[in-house]
Amino acid sequence: MGAGEILLSLPSPIDLRLTVASHGWAHLAPWRWEPDAGCLSRHERIAGRLGTIAVAQCRLDAVAVHQEGFGAADDAAIAARVERWLSADWQPADALVLLGGDGSSDGAALIHRGGGRMLRCSTFYEDFVKTVLTINTAWSSTCRMAAALVAEPGGGGFPEPEMVLDYGEVRLRERAKLGFRAATVIRTTRQMLDDGAIDAAGDGRAERLGHDYLIGLKGIGPYAAAHCRLLLHDFARIPVDSEVVAYLRRRHGCDPAAFAASRSSWGIYLALGYKLARLREKLDAAAPS
């Protein structure tokens, strides 16, 4: 490894490309995904300094991490960020049992290939805010709003909670163009800080971020709560939005409740099974004829 690089060993096989393909986060600022190079990077703030962290696959049990703007003393913090991105702390043994138990092996096969991980942001707070940015809007608008938050108030990285609060609802609505989401972001940021559910850096306390707590936040409905829980490795509920409803009607001829009932053998991994089925279709569609 060269200067500014570390080799990060992973506790189980993780495929970077499959993780990036798990959902759309890699296309939201400050992420940058280079598919030809297989490199995922982003601007990151550590101890008040802004730098860049990039990760590329070495083998299924290790990734190469390159940094610019940080020092060797920051290696542990950088490794922790990358591990969160890749959901490296999630162990798939129980999911393999349930997802392979109904005769459908696609989900289990993808997990064996290093899939099954959801790409996550550096903090729960960033995952939370970006989830809010997906509510009742087109994906292009979500991308635009995320880029606006990174540019200002983030100054090149994703803003920490107090940066968002200092920026204020008016500028979030009028300059970052968050619309009605501005009030939701300000209100929930303040409440989660006051409740101790997140800290000043935006790191979340999972035991305080249960589904009931999240859905109790004003402006957070079943879809957003389920999506945030999904990124905390709670796969019990599919985050149902209009796209999911349309897909299930088109592909399976049923609504989300009927789909869940037909996949009852997946148990608490219902959402993971659903995500892996969608990923399998995406991979098949992209494969050469």
For residue 107, tell me if it sits in a domain: no
Beta bridge partners of 57: 63
Q: 221 with 129, same domain?
A: yes
Q: 67 with 138, same domain?
A: no
For residue 114, tell me if it sits in a domain: no
Of 59, 66, 2, give the one whose Cα is nearest residue 34. 66
Q: 77 with 171, same domain?
A: no
Rounded alpha-carbon distances, angstroms, from residue 217 to 152, 198, 267: 25, 14, 26
What does the pLDDT read at residue 4?
80
* Rounded Cα distance, 279 and 189, in Å: 32
> Domain of 141: which CATH number?
1.10.340.30
Q: What is the full per-residue pLDDT of the chain (289 aa) written as tens digits? A: 455 899 999 999 999 999 999 999 999 999 999 999 999 999 999 999 999 999 999 999 999 999 999 999 999 999 999 999 999 999 999 999 999 854 456 888 999 999 999 999 999 999 999 999 999 999 999 999 999 999 999 999 999 999 999 999 999 999 999 999 999 999 999 999 999 999 999 999 999 999 999 999 999 999 999 999 999 999 999 999 999 999 999 999 999 999 999 999 999 999 999 999 999 999 988 877 5
For residue 205, tell me if it sits in a domain: yes
In eight-state DSSP terms, residue 88 is T
Q: Domain of residue 32: give its range.
A: 5-88
What does the pLDDT read at residue 3?
57
What does the pLDDT read at residue 102?
47
For residue 96, tell me if it sits in a domain: no
Question: Is-contact 126 185, C-beta < 8 A?
Answer: no
Domain boundary pick from 230, 246, 263: 230
Question: Is-contact 232 123, C-beta < 8 A?
Answer: no
For residue 57, tell me if it sits in a domain: yes
In eight-state DSSP terms, residue 188 is H
Peptide bond preceding 288 in cis form (omega within 30 of 0):
no
> Domain of 82: which CATH number?
3.30.310.20
For residue 267, tell me if it sits in a domain: no
The angle, 0 to 180 degrees and rounded to 10, between the axes of the packed helices 161-174 and 181-195 is 160
Helices (H), 220-264: 222-230, 242-252, 256-262
Q: 154 with 77, same domain?
A: no
Q: 130 with 211, same domain?
A: yes
Q: 224 with 128, same domain?
A: yes
Domain boundary pick from 230, 247, 278: 230
Question: Is-contact 56 38, C-beta < 8 A?
Answer: yes
Domain boundary pick from 230, 246, 270: 230
Q: 203 with 149, same domain?
A: yes
In eight-state DSSP terms, residue 201 is T
Cβ within 8 Å of residue 62, ≥6 positions away: 7, 8, 9, 10
From the DSSP assignment, how many helices (H) and strands (E) are in the chain?
Answer: 13, 5
Q: 214 with 146, same domain?
A: yes
Of 66, 62, 86, give the one whose Cα is nearest residue 74. 66
For residue 262, tell me if it sits in a domain: no
Q: 60 with 132, same domain?
A: no
* Rounded Cα distance, 288 and 13, in Å: 25
* Rounded Cα distance, 215 and 206, in Å: 14
* Rounded Cα distance, 143 and 166, in Å: 22
What does the pLDDT read at residue 101?
56
Q: How many structural domains comprise the chain?
A: 2
For residue 251, tell me if it sits in a domain: no
- Rounded to 10 degrees, what is the CA torsion of 196, 198, 204, 208? 30
Q: 152 with 224, same domain?
A: yes
Q: 10 with 66, same domain?
A: yes
* Rounded Cα distance, 227 and 275, in Å: 12
For residue 97, how many other CB atoms are within 10 A of its CB?
Answer: 12
Of 97, 101, 121, 86, give the one whose Cα is nearest residue 12. 86
Cβ within 8 Å of residue 194, ≥6 positions away: none
